[in-house]
């Protein structure tokens, strides 16, 4: 293979790229980044109905202070994106994390 693929669209593309990276034919860092992007795009931040007190200490929530002095804080919650690429391709989060770990271990 010559250079890193411009697009990875299928499980076969990811697995093939992973194999090339493990063999040293592709950048391990770029392949790990591609795997990480599957995890990153699986979630999005959306405005939550939770109160600031309910969101406190919840790792899936962020509280953003109001921009104006009297503006209330806004609570955002990290939610799974329906139809995310990771789901369309057919990988689980555990499988993707395992692939990243393999690349980082070498």
Whether the CB-CB separation of 52 and 75 falls below 8 Å is answered with: yes
Q: Examine the pLDDT at 2 and tell me if it is beyond 70.
A: no
Cα maximum dimension of the chain: 58
Are 36 and 48 found together in one domain? Answer: no
Are 17 and 35 found together in one domain? Answer: yes
Answer yes or no: is 69 within a domain: yes
Answer yes or no: is 2 within a domain: no
Tell me the residue length of the chain.
Answer: 106
Q: Which domain holds residue 49?
A: 44-80
Q: Examine the pLDDT at 1 and tell me if it is beyond 80.
A: no
Answer yes or no: is 11 within a domain: yes
Are 37 and 65 found together in one domain? Answer: no
Are 48 and 75 found together in one domain? Answer: yes
Tell me: the pLDDT tens digits for 56-93?
Answer: 999 999 999 988 888 888 999 999 999 999 999 999 99
Domain count, the chain: 2
Answer yes or no: is 1 within a domain: no
What does pTM read for this prediction? 0.82
Which SS3 state, helix, strand or coil, does residue 22 take?
A: helix
Q: How far apart, in Å, are the Cα atoms of 69 and each of 33, 65, 72, 73, 96?
A: 39, 9, 8, 10, 43
Looking at per-residue confidence, does 72 or 98 come out higher?
Answer: 98
* Residue 99: predicted pLDDT: 97
Tell me: the pLDDT tens digits for 9-58?
Answer: 999 999 999 999 999 999 999 999 999 999 999 999 999 999 999 999 99
């Amino acid at each position: 293979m010559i250079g890193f693929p411009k697009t990875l669209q299928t499980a076969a593309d990811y697995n093939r790229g992973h194999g090339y990276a493990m063999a040293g034919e592709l950048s391990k860092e770029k392949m790990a980044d591609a795997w990480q992007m599957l995890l990153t795009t699986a979630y999005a931040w959306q405005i939550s109905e939770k109160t600031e007190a309910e969101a406190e200490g919840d790792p899936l929530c962020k509280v953003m202070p109001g921009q104006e002095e009297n503006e209330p804080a806004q609570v955002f919650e990290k939610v799974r994106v329906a139809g995310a690429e990771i789901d369309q391709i057919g990988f689980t989060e555990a499988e993707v994390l395992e692939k990243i770990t393999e690349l980082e271990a070498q």
